[in-house]
Structure 1
C-alpha cells in the first residue's frame, strides 16, 4: 500500500525506467460540504490532481489512476525537465506506453487524507487541515473516512471535467481498493477495472497487520491523542511505523540483496544493548527522512480506511461484486507478503463465479508488494491489450 520511502529503492526505480519527456502540472480541486459514507459533513475538501494526454471531444477516453497508501497523484512524467524522479508508474503511462497518452486522457488525484501532507507537491484535506469551524487543525475531530469517500471525491473531480464514463480505473494496492470500489459503487461509470497488488476486502489477517502500523504512532508520547499541531510531532512513532510498513512491503530476498554486508555478530550490538545492527540503522535513516514529509494522524486515518474496506461497502463481498459491469484484470505480485495473491484470486474467482468478465496474471520479482510499482511493466502488454479490447 504502500511505500516509496527508501532512497535505494528510488534509485533502483530510476534505473529500470527510461527517461520521459512528459511534463505535468499539479492542479487543485475543491468541493464544499462533502458528505462522508458514515454521515458526517466536511465543510471544505481540496485535493491535488494531474493529467496526461488530451480528453477527446466525446469525453470517452478518460482513464483514472488511483494511488497506493503512501503514494500521491504523481503517477507519471515530471514536474520539470530537471526533476530527478518521474511519477511512480512512468514505465507504463505515457506516449506509446501501455497506458498510451496519445490515445487516453489519464487523470490521477491525491487522496483525501493523503499521507504526504508536507510534500510541496501534495494537496489534500485531512486531520492536519484547518477546521473552518474552529480555525485550528482538525486533529482527531476529523471524521473517519473510507475508500468510498476517496472514490466520491474523485467522482466529483471527474464530473467537474464533464466526464460521465471512465474507459478504465486502474490502481495499485490501496489504489486497487479504490478501483474496485469504483466498479461496485458506480458500475455504469466503469468499463474496465485493473487491480494491481490488490484485494476486494480486508480480511482479519490484514486488519491485524495494519493495526501494527498504527501502534508506534499511538505509543509515542508526542502524539498526545492527535493534538500535536503547533508542538513537537510524533516523529519517533511515525518513523517506526514507516520502518514496519517498508519491511512488510518488501520480500526478504530484496532486503538481503541490498544489505549484503549484514552480519549477526556485528560488534556494536554485541557489546551494547542500545546499539543497532547496520541493517536496522539503514532502514531507520530512510524511514526518518520520509517521516518529515508525512503526518502521523493521516497515517492513522489511512490505516482505518483500509481496515474498513469491503468492495461495495455493504453486505458481503459477493453482494458487492455482483454489481460490477466492468471487465476486470487482477495483477497481484507473486512474492507479495502484504496483500498476498490469494486476496486478488478471491476477487477474481468470485467475479468468475458470478459470470463476470475477469482475467488474472501475476507479476514476478523479489521486491514483494513493491513489485506492483517497480515491476508492473512486466505486464505492460497485457494491460495494453486489456485497455484496447
Structure 2
C-alpha cells in the first residue's frame, strides 16, 4: 500500500533541482579546481558530509563523432582520500535530470545528495575507505542551475561569442566517459574500485566497464539497460517531441536577447518523463481528486489533482533547465554503446564484477532490461549478481529509495 511518506519522498525528488538552485543563488560561484582533499568538515559515521563543488576544465577535446571542442568545463565533488596507488576511487555517475550532487551537503541545512543514504562515513560506500568522485556531464540538463557546471548548447562558443545552440557537436554516453576519465586522471586516479550510477548513470557505468576494462574493478548499474533498442529509441523521440513543436524553439535558436525559450515545450517533455519515471502505486494517493479550485466534471479546462501536480512540478524543473540540452541528452542516451557491433560484443570486453539492480516497477527501463543484462553477463561467465529493487516509486526506486539495497552494496564492496 502506498504511504504518504513514499508520495512525499517522490515529490521532493521531483522538485529537488529547483529547490537546490534557489538556495544556491545565494552562494558565490564554485571555486577553481584544485587537488583532491579530505572533506572540509568530516562527519560522524552515518551522517552527511559537507562537500565542496569544484570545476574541472579541459581543452581541445575531440568528440567520438570527430568534432573538436576547444574548451570545456564540468563540475564535480569529492569525499575521502585517494591512496598512494590511486586505486581506491569510486566514480558516481548521474541520472538524466541529475548532476554531481550525489552525496553530502553543500552547507548545513541544505538538502543532501540523492544517494547520500549509501555514501559517506560508515555507509556502504564508505568515504573512510574510498575516494569518491561525482561529476556533472557535458550537455547537462540543468544548465541554468548555479551549481551545475557543464559545457553544452547553452554555453558560449569561444569562436563566435554567442551560445553554440545547435552548432554544438553531438555527444554520446562514451563522450561523458572520456571527459570523466580526463577528470580522474587529473586527480591522480589510476583505477576504479567501483563505478556506480542510476538510470543514465547506469549507461555510463556500463560504457566505462566496456571501454576501459582495466580500469573498472566493480560495476554497479542501477535501474539501467544493457542496450538502447528500437523501443527505447522511440521513447526518447516521444520525450523530445513537445520541444520541437514549441514555436519558441526556433530550431534551437532561442538564446538571442528578446527571444523566449521554449519553456512550455520543455515543461511538457519533463511532464512525460516525470510520469513515466513513476509506477501506478505512486499515484494512488491522488486518486481521482480534482485539483484545488478545479471541477473537471463541469469544465473541460479544469484539471485533476495528479495533472495539476505534474504541471506544477514539470514547469518548476523547466525553469532551471535548457531545452536544447534536453535534446542533446536524449541523443547521448540513444548513442549508448553505439561504437560496438552489439551489446554482447561490448559486454564481452568487461573484466569487472557486477551488481545489477533493476526496479521491478520501472516504466523507463522495465525490469526485463536489467534481467537481460545480467543474463548476458552470466552467459559470458562474468561475475554478476542481481538485486531487484521493490516499491511504489517505479524508476525512482533506484534514486530515492536506494537505501533498500544498502546491505547488498556493502557485501559487494567487501569482496
- TM category (shorter chain) comes to over 0.9
Aligned with 1:204 (options 218, 222, 230): 230
Large movers: runs of 4+ above 3 Å: 4-11, 18-21
Q: Tell me what 1:273 maps to.
A: 300
Checking the alignment, whether the CA contact within 8 Å between 1:20 and 1:86 is kept in structure 2 is no
Correspondences of 1:314-325 after superposition (within 5 Å): 314-325=340-351
TM-score (norm 1): 0.93
Change (3 A) 1:133 1:9: closer
Q: Tell me what 1:288 maps to.
A: 315
Tell me the SS of whatever aligns to 1:268. Answer: coil
Q: Report whether the alignment pairs 1:98 with 2:135.
A: no
Which stretches in structure 2 are left out of the alignment for 5+ residues?
A: 1-8, 17-44
Q: Tell me what 1:194 maps to.
A: 220
Aligned with 2:210 (options 184, 201, 220): 184
Q: Report whether the alignment pairs 1:229 with 2:229.
A: no
Shift of residue 9 of structure 1? 5.2
The Cα offsets for residues 92-148 of structure 1, whole Å up to 9 and x where unpaired, read as 001111101111010000001111011111000000000111110000011111000
CA distance in 2, matches of 1:379, 1:58: 29
Tell me the SS of whatever aligns to 2:295. Answer: helix
Which stretches in structure 1 are left out of the alignment for 5+ residues?
A: 12-17
CA distance in 2, matches of 1:125, 1:211: 23
Checking the alignment, whether the CA contact within 8 Å between 2:46 and 2:120 is kept in structure 1 is no
The Cα offsets for residues 162-221 of structure 1, whole Å up to 9 and x where unpaired, read as 111111100000000000100000000110000100112111111111111100000000
Checking the alignment, whether the CA contact within 8 Å between 1:184 and 1:320 is kept in structure 2 is yes
Shift of residue 19 of structure 1? 8.2
Q: Tell me what 1:76 maps to.
A: 103
Q: Tell me what 2:266 maps to.
A: 238
Q: Tell me what 1:14 maps to.
A: none
CA distance in 2, matches of 1:98, 1:305: 30
Aligned with 1:49 (options 42, 53, 76): 76
Checking the alignment, whether the CA contact within 8 Å between 1:21 and 1:81 is kept in structure 2 is no
TM-score (norm 2): 0.87
Q: Report whether the alignment pairs 1:251 with 2:279.
A: yes
CA distance in 2, matches of 1:176, 1:200: 9
Q: Tell me what 1:333 maps to.
A: 359
Q: Tell me what 1:31 maps to.
A: 58
Checking the alignment, whether the CA contact within 8 Å between 1:7 and 1:286 is kept in structure 2 is no
Tell me the SS of whatever aligns to 1:51. Answer: strand
Tell me the SS of whatever aligns to 1:373. Answer: helix
Tell me the SS of whatever aligns to 1:294. Answer: coil
Deviates more, 1:293-302 or 1:277-286: 277-286
The Cα offsets for residues 220-272 of structure 1, whole Å up to 9 and x where unpaired, read as 00011000003200100011111110000000110222x146259x9633333
CA distance in 2, matches of 1:88, 1:10: 12
CA RMSD of aligned residues (A): 2.0
Correspondences of 1:132-151 after superposition (within 5 Å): 132-151=158-177
Aligned with 1:130 (options 156, 160, 184): 156
Shift of residue 58 of structure 1? 2.1
Shift of residue 35 of structure 1? 0.7
CA distance in 1, matches of 2:392, 2:82: 37
The Cα offsets for residues 314-350 of structure 1, whole Å up to 9 and x where unpaired, read as 1111111110001111000111111011111111111
How many residues get paired?
A: 377
CA distance in 2, matches of 1:63, 1:136: 37
Change (3 A) 1:34 1:292: same
